[in-house]
């Protein structure tokens, strides 16, 4: 009977080892599937990261290009502003010289006064009376004033 007990013990151990082997196989298979799934996810994340990096690089290049364009526009605007300031100073100088000339020359004085009245919105008759210019010349001044508006 002693052999029979050893046979049952041996069979039980063998069955237990078989069950443990089967459980280990199933666990390993499930673990392998999960690992493969994890590797696939990591691969997808890597591809997504590469795409994102390319987009970020392209956007950085676009930003650099836009910054360069903006700097060029700023430089152009600065140059134009300087030129405008110089032109404004020259215009003021010319206006002062013109005013001095208009005060010295009676004929220019009449035209200057008439031009100021036209710009102020006075009527043709009022401008003729105040400046002493004939109607045709005052009408020309009115015509020029309308063109400048």
CA 108, distance to chain mean position in Å, is 52
| CB 142 within 8 Å of CB 114 | no
Give pTM, 2 decimals: 0.45
* Residues 13-52: tens digit of each pLDDT: 999 999 999 999 999 899 999 999 999 999 999 999 999 9
Q: Looking only at Cα atoms, what is the longest distance across the chain?
A: 153
Go through the chain and tell me how many residues it has.
149
Which residue do the tokens 């050893």 mark?
Answer: 6
CA–CA separation, 149 and 142 (whole Å): 11
> For the chain, how are helix, strand and coil distributed in percent, rounded to 5?
95, 0, 5
* Residues 101-148: tens digit of each pLDDT: 766 767 777 888 888 899 898 999 998 998 888 999 889 988 888 887
């Amino acid at each position: 009977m002693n052999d029979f007990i050893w046979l049952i013990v041996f069979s039980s151990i063998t069955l237990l080892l078989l069950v443990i082997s089967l459980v280990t196989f199933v666990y390993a298979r499930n673990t392998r599937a999960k690992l493969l799934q994890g590797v696939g996810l990591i691969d997808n994340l890597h591809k997504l990261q590469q795409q994102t990096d390319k987009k970020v690089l392209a956007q950085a290049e676009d930003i650099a290009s836009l910054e360069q364009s903006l700097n060029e526009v700023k430089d152009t605007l600065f140059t134009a502003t300087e030129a405008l300031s110089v032109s404004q100073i020259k215009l003021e100088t010319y206006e002062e010289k013109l005013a001095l000339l208009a005060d010295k020359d009676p004929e220019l004085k009449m035209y200057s006064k008439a031009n100021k009245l036209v710009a102020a919105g006075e009527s043709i008759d009022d401008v003729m009376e105040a400046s002493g210019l004939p109607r045709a010349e005052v009408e020309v001044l009115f015509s020029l004033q309308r063109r400048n508006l």
